[in-house]
Structure 1
Amino acid sequence: MSTILSRHVPSQLYVYIELIRLEKPTGVILAFWPFAWGIFLASSDHCMTPAMGTSWLVMFFSGSFLLRSTACTWNDILDRKFDRLVERTKDRPIASGKLAVFNAAVFLSIEVALCILFFAFLRNSKAFWLGMFSLFPLVSLYPLLKRYTYWPQAWLGVTANWGLLIAYLTLTDVFDYRRLLPLLTGAWWSVILLIADTIYACQDKNDDAQAGVKSTALKFGNWAKPILLSFIGGFVLSLIFVGILEGHTWRFYATSTGSVAAHLVWQLWIVDLNKSPSCAAIFRQNSYTGFLVLAGFILDYQKHSSC
């Protein structure tokens, strides 16, 4: 499919744009929300100004982009043989032969180096090692899990959620154990990403079954919607629990709880898990879910902040 970038960028460079999914930003946005939550929790605890919070948001959005790009390259190198057997992925640069594996590996080494520099730039040893752990083993193991378990989507959720801890520790340098229970919201974000990626995987479930690729889409089968609905219930209950612990007002419950619940149930109601275009469209809708959670925290900031 022709795009604006494909028409104006030389083909030798455009293959790298395809490789890192630059024109498909949903993955970056999903990875970014836990960073944003961590920034907000740290800001509300330590009375940081909006300007400081905004600068950190820009910083961690850049980090989310780097991490997601690295994950895409690593995934496509390892999965190139599987990708050739799946209709949706057969034209990816490495699988189609447009980009040599060696060139992709060189590009990957540059991406990994940039990720390490990013974590070093945070100037916090705890955050640095948490970041390194997100690369090795969290990001690095994900493509391999598809070969051995039906739960790679759960691992992906944990990987993306790691950003919350990185951001919080970067800004505070202290893991406040008082925050352990409120951080359950972040833990349940792993479940929301499991839901989103299960819907995403439903695009390829027939091809994956023939290729030998495992996923929760195949594991859940015809029970996918009821199972995903139960996960949504768990996420909403965790938000209510956080609201009670933190003394939030109706603003939080209306936005972070009510709106999120309605949005997720709406997704399950309208998605057709047997049609790829429907799955792709609903997967992209999850970009808004993390924002709704963050919006509830922000609207209630003055109520529970000590600033």
Structure 2
Amino acid sequence: MKVFNRNGPRPRTSLLPSQFTCVCWKVATGMALSAFLLTATLAWSQPVPGSLDVHWNEGASDCSATPQEALQVHQYEPQTFILRQSPCADFEANFIYLLIGSDKALLIDTGAVADPKAMPLAKTILELLPDKDHKKLPLLVAHTHRHLDHRAGDPQFESLPSVQIVPIDLEGVRAFYGFNNWPNGTAHLDLGDRTVDVIPTPGHNKTHIAFYDDRTGILFSGDFLLPGRLLIDDAAAYHESALRVVDFLKTRLLTHILGGHIELNAAGRAYRFGAHRVGESRLDSLANSA
């Protein structure tokens, strides 16, 4: 994996007051709008188009009486896959992203379920990976941040050949991507004919990063931005991260902002914790609202 640099359990204790949450939501949508306006006249090559025309698994009020697939797979375009863990498998209902280059593939997060029998994530990913030189394409397993619901599936990949897992601690993240002045700078993952930029976005968690894919123009934002609750451990760091992402996007085309969860219904109301998600907001609702 070529990386270049230009320059326990998940804690959820820092819920913002409701009025501050509304302000952060406006900042998030405003950030997307600013990025669109600032890049509207730039002569960049157009991103590869893809489809988000999919109805995500909404779980059930009685999961035992409603058997369903633990993992839903959607092909956004031939080299980009979006996977959603069923709300019946875990209430977090994580989204996981697979980006395939000509030399390597990148998996963003491994979700909230460790048991391969209950959640056959590694098996599914291997089936999606193409062959190269008579073996599966090498895979890098990365995380938006260290919270358990974004890395519980890591053990499924630990014994697989040609798989590298990025460390989850801050020092490990900094060292792997080559950040010498965290949280400043941008790292770059070369997947072969596809570059993914890595932007530090601490605030929700001190290890948080976002990924920008030059092939599709998608910002994979983890829990930094998502259609749901913005849970913030460090408000000052979050604010600086938002400014950093806006500055980064000034010179990029943005097609979608895709987060780690959907926690709102289509009317913008947060779900109570549970396994039934009727009438969910769109996964890409942040970009759409801009």
The normalised TM-score by structure 2 is 0.33
Answer with 1 or 2: which has the greater Rg: 1
Q: Decide which structure has greater helix share.
A: 1
The normalised TM-score by structure 1 is 0.32
Q: Decide which structure has greater strand share.
A: 2
